[in-house]
Chain A
Amino acid sequence: MKLRDIIDSPCGLRYMIETLPVASGYSLRYLMDSSSCSCEEDVRDAYAVLGSFMPVASDGNLTAMLHTELCGLKNISGTLDRTESGATVDDIELFEIKHLIMLGRRVSSHLSSAGHSGLFPEMPSLEVPLSVLDPDGNNIASFYIYDSYSEELARLRLLISRDSNPDTRERLMQQEQDEESRIRVRICDALRPFVPELRKLMESLAVLDISLAKAVQMREMGLCIPEISSGTTSYKDMYHPYIKSILEKDGKEFTPIDVSFGDRPVVIIGANMGGKTVVLKMAALCQYLFSFGMGIPAESARIELKRQVFFISGDAQDMTAGLSSFAAEMTAIDSAVRASATDGAGMVAMIDEPARSTNPIEGMALVESLVSLLGRRGAALLLTTHYNVSSGDCDCRRLRVTGIVNGKMNYRLCPAPDGDVPHEALNVAESLNISPEWIGEAKKLLKYE
């Protein structure tokens, strides 16, 4: 899956990508078009790179210098394609190529003088194209058809500067233009064999920009590098960066959550407003971040790589498709069920309160059968519900939000032995200042009083 296709997942992935301090617009587009890791080896490599950038990210000066340089990284694929196809490119495009090579050299020199030369090796093969574009060895990132390209050009320019007769001047200028064109053809011929190297340089710089941004984000947000696991996924003190940042703005604190799943289906029950959905969001977010080798918002994490991630949350009512909320939800969940038939072990599903919009008897049957089916097929499942799903009937682990303890909400998860589901809806409603006559009547119906 490409990042572009999943960025708007309601788990909050966009926030993580938007807060990535990527310097160049080209790098960001490169990242968006990149695909998730398809095997453990890729994940291991991605985190090894991220780890190797951590010392750079902790050097504020070096990071700032690299960031400033990388701001100048541009996508010059068009220019490179034209050069490769045999076209003669103009001064602006030649400037772009020179600018790219010099940018690569400066980045490489910043890194090597700070002792990180391994992160971006010098490209000796680019000395030749650089010398073509910098015949005087000025080492300045500017370009024009220099006098030193040909004696004829220098001679013509001297004549032009001395000539005050408009007619002869015009003629000389035409000759000068012709000579410039001939030189451009020569320059392009000399550059052509190096186009693959130049393309590689451009992409390596984008990758470096992205890696550095990931490392800086990891440092700033206090993310962790996860262990790669097989069989179970577990998080210690997992948090949601976006929700945490919003709470912190209001002077509130986010309660981190421990959770583990993957060996058996996990069903989370518990009061409304207890943060069940947030747990699913976090788990889905971490799963995506993991598959793109990014820092994980948790104290520590062990994650299993999954080929397919299903995050089905909220009111999925799809008016454009003419589906009711129930139909849209069933269709979405069904895609996960169908995927599990062929590759149960290769998928993870986070499903928020399935079948909540139908009657509780059929709803419960749908949920229990869903948990059993996905569990039997080996899918990693994390599901929230208000239905009293029994752990025995569908072989799952029941967790619940701890709930209100000493008048304060405790969002942490704890095991929920079989039995009734927590009856806290009315208490929560009261805390929301809902009309007492309504809640009172509801309580009477339940014979609370």
Chain B
Amino acid sequence: MPFVHELLNYRSVAVVGMEKNCGKTECLNYIIRRMPLDGRRVCVTSIGLDGERTDQVTRTPKPEIVLREGMFFSTSETHYRARRMVSELVDVSDETTVLGRLITAKVVSEGKVILSGPSSTASLRRWMDGLSGFGIDLTIIDGALSRKSSASPAVSDAMVLATGAALSSSLSTLVDLTAFCVGMIRLPLAETHPDTARSVTVSSMAPDVEICEDTDRVDVTGALTDRLLARLTQDGGLDRYEVVVEDFTRIFVTPGQYRSFVRAGGRLRVRRRTVLLAVCVNPLAPNGYRLDSELLCARLSDKLQIPVYDIKRHEA
């Protein structure tokens, strides 16, 4: 599969699931298995807790993270002690998680581990900066619990999105929801420059800001919510300015609200973009329902115009 090679063009790649049980860990393991190492230093970490053997919420069996010899990984003290591999400890960070300090180690012989990384993008960023001394070429971040924040361009340069029947057992709903998410990831960069634009700043906490006739840019700090977008849509005059958010991880709007915004002439833009490398699907829902993998992949790649893979099927 070509996309694993593409990962090597980036310093950091996040693997993010749209929902729990979308096959994100499968996808991560697939990447780890196929990654051509050739002396490259690859480090795998997670944001929050991941790699549990059974899902903490739905109690369904989950694949463990299997790391190859020579790879680096980071996890919390608690999970480092529980690892089932031989690994050489190289760093104990001051960065702490609820499960203890963050440990970075190098795999001596292949084995399994539970990954639990820094719990916020800021501490993840700090940890990645601290790692520079080890000459890491690529950091793969396992984004946990449908938390898309690890895919923020503030942390990772590129991302792989995992979606699946866990999101919806209706094929067309699944395709629509995924397409909406991908649409947000691919939002274009802001056209106006913050220094030259006649801009105003709004936030979901303080949405009542006067937008003048000549405003050509509305900067949103923090999250863009349905309420804020609804307010902008109602006020009208959307064709005069662009609405700019930091990046797609700050967007928390429903497809319906976004459609009304666009119909009213609204343009949503981002300050920073991330690269979407591929979409992986898991046609099996935790309740046992299975979608037609081939049809799902075809419909998705047709709609998204991006490679879509069912990893299980590829491996078989």
**Residues in chain B near residue A92, CB distance under 8 A:** 77, 80-81, 89, 92, 101, 103
Contact of B84 among A74, A99, A173 (CB under 8 A): A173
* C-alpha gap A383/B116 in the complex (Å): 60
CB<8 Å pairs between A and B, sample of 12: A25-B94, A90-B81, A92-B80, A92-B81, A92-B101, A96-B92, A142-B88, A142-B89, A144-B88, A144-B105, A157-B86, A161-B109
Contact of B88 among A90, A96, A143, A160 (CB under 8 A): A143
Distance from B14 Cβ to chain A, minimum over Cβ atoms (Å): 27
- Is B87 positioned at the interface, with any CB of A under 8 Å from its CB? yes
- Is B106 positioned at the interface, with any CB of A under 8 Å from its CB? yes
- Is A95 positioned at the interface, with any CB of B under 8 Å from its CB? yes
**Residues in chain B near residue A8, CB distance under 8 A:** none
**Residues in chain B near residue A248, CB distance under 8 A:** none
**Residues in chain A near residue B87, CB distance under 8 A:** 144
* Docked complex: A49-107 residues within 8 A CB-CB of B: 74, 90-92, 95-96, 99
Measured CB to CB, the nearest residue on chain A to B101 is: A92
**Is the contact region of chain B dominated by helix, strand, or loop, or is it mixed?**
strand
Residue tally, chain A, CB below 8 Å to B: 17
* C-alpha gap A25/B84 in the complex (Å): 33
**Residues in chain B near residue A99, CB distance under 8 A:** 92
Distance from A409 Cβ to chain B, minimum over Cβ atoms (Å): 42
* C-alpha gap A74/B96 in the complex (Å): 14
- Tell me whether B109 and A91 are in contact (CB under 8 A): no
**Residues in chain B near residue A141, CB distance under 8 A:** 90
**Residues in chain A near residue B92, CB distance under 8 A:** 74, 92, 95-96, 99
- Is B108 positioned at the interface, with any CB of A under 8 Å from its CB? yes
Residues of B within 8 A of A (CB): 77, 80-81, 84, 86-90, 92, 94, 101, 103, 105-106, 108-110
Distance from A144 Cβ to chain B, minimum over Cβ atoms (Å): 4
**Residues in chain A near residue B106, CB distance under 8 A:** 142
Contact of A144 among B81, B89, B94, B110 (CB under 8 A): B89
Distance from A405 Cβ to chain B, minimum over Cβ atoms (Å): 48
Measured CB to CB, the nearest residue on chain A to B109 is: A161
Measured CB to CB, the nearest residue on chain B to A90 is: B81
Residues of A within 8 A of B (CB): 25, 74, 90-92, 95-96, 99, 141-145, 157, 160-161, 173
* C-alpha gap A3/B94 in the complex (Å): 25
* C-alpha gap A90/B78 in the complex (Å): 11
- Tell me whether A91 and B94 are in contact (CB under 8 A): no
**Residues in chain B near residue A25, CB distance under 8 A:** 94
Distance from A188 Cβ to chain B, minimum over Cβ atoms (Å): 16
**Residues in chain A near residue B90, CB distance under 8 A:** 141-142
- Tell me whether B109 and A143 are in contact (CB under 8 A): no
* C-alpha gap A90/B103 in the complex (Å): 13
* C-alpha gap A144/B87 in the complex (Å): 6
* C-alpha gap A161/B80 in the complex (Å): 20
**Residues in chain A near residue B110, CB distance under 8 A:** 161
Distance from B20 Cβ to chain A, minimum over Cβ atoms (Å): 27
Distance from B63 Cβ to chain A, minimum over Cβ atoms (Å): 14
* C-alpha gap A141/B88 in the complex (Å): 10
- Tell me whether B89 and A157 are in contact (CB under 8 A): no
Distance from B288 Cβ to chain A, minimum over Cβ atoms (Å): 25
Distance from A132 Cβ to chain B, minimum over Cβ atoms (Å): 16
Distance from A6 Cβ to chain B, minimum over Cβ atoms (Å): 27
- Tell me whether A157 and B109 are in contact (CB under 8 A): yes
Given A141-B90, A142-B106, A143-B89, 17 further pairs, Cβ under 8 A: A74-B92, A91-B80, A92-B77, A92-B81, A92-B92, A95-B92, A96-B92, A142-B89, A142-B90, A143-B88, A144-B88, A144-B105, A144-B108, A157-B109, A160-B109, A161-B109, A161-B110
**Residues in chain B near residue A144, CB distance under 8 A:** 86-89, 105, 108
* C-alpha gap A46/B81 in the complex (Å): 44
* C-alpha gap A161/B86 in the complex (Å): 11
